[in-house]
Amino acid sequence: MKFGFCAVAFMTLISVSASASMFEAGKHCVGYKFKKKSLSFFNSQVIAKNCDVSAQLLPVVGGGYQIEVSVPISAFESEDKGWDQELRDVLKESDQPDVIFHSKVLSEKEWKQLVQRPKVNLDGEISLGNKTFPINTPCALTKVPGGIEIDGVTSVPFAKFELQPPKKGGGFIVKADSDLEIYFHLVSEKFLGADKIFGAPEKDKDIIKDAMKTIDEKSGVVVDKPAKDKDSM
């Protein structure tokens, strides 16, 4: 009975930790995590982070916009350089140096509606090793001054990307588990060309503008003084 309770508690802890964010607020990064198994059956994890991430909002021919996120494979770093190199080989860095994500194309109105929700599924595709694969990732949106922050995590099998899990010693010494956890935390302010959609709503901008005008008027500086009516002159 006691063993059963411990097992349930342990699995719950794993589930909670798997869904927790890898990054602090304000970070603009991507990361991955996978379990590794050795002959001693002792399981540990490889955790790598990469904050050399570029993102932009691209207008699409025919109308609409899509998010593009580019992540250089060489910039992923964990505490084990050997595993870093193993994963670079698995991700076929020599064929395609960056992992690239393209979101589904949405209209300006659809994007503005989407970013008002606290939780969304980001639909799109990932390109790596010169191949493209569909992906749908749940993420949380947090409003911050000047825009939003996007945080998400998803677990996918290496096989989904037609990849073999990394291993050492031919897999007889240590090998990775079959699943790869992908983490990301992106800041809209660092998206090139995203002000139009992810910036502060016009209503918020007007409130800020009025507040600054009041401060200037109190300090004796008149801002946006309306022109006099010619008839009153």
* Residue 151 near residue 139, CB atoms below 8 Å: yes
DSSP 122: E
Share of the chain above pLDDT 90, in %: 56
| Residues 89-141 pLDDT 10s | 999 999 999 999 999 999 999 999 999 999 999 999 999 999 999 999 999 99
Cα–Cα distance, 65 to 216 (Å, whole number)? 38
* Residue 156 near residue 182, CB atoms below 8 Å: yes
How high is the pLDDT of residue 2? 40
Token duo for residue 152: 């998400």
How high is the pLDDT of residue 233? 44
> pTM of whole model > 0.85?
no
How high is the pLDDT of residue 169? 62
| Residues 68-96 pLDDT 10s | 999 999 999 999 888 899 889 999 999 99
Token duo for residue 228: 């006099």
Cα–Cα distance, 87 to 32 (Å, whole number)? 10
Cα–Cα distance, 95 to 133 (Å, whole number)? 16
* Burial zone of 163 (CB within 10 Å; 0-12 exposed, 13-18 middle, 19+ buried): middle
**Which pLDDT band holds residue 210 (cuts at 50, 70, 90)?**
low
Residue 109 phi, psi (nearest 5): -65, -45
**Which pLDDT band holds residue 167 (cuts at 50, 70, 90)?**
confident
Token duo for residue 161: 């990307």
Cα–Cα distance, 118 to 99 (Å, whole number)? 27
Cα–Cα distance, 184 to 154 (Å, whole number)? 9
How high is the pLDDT of residue 30? 97
Residue-averaged pLDDT of the chain: 80
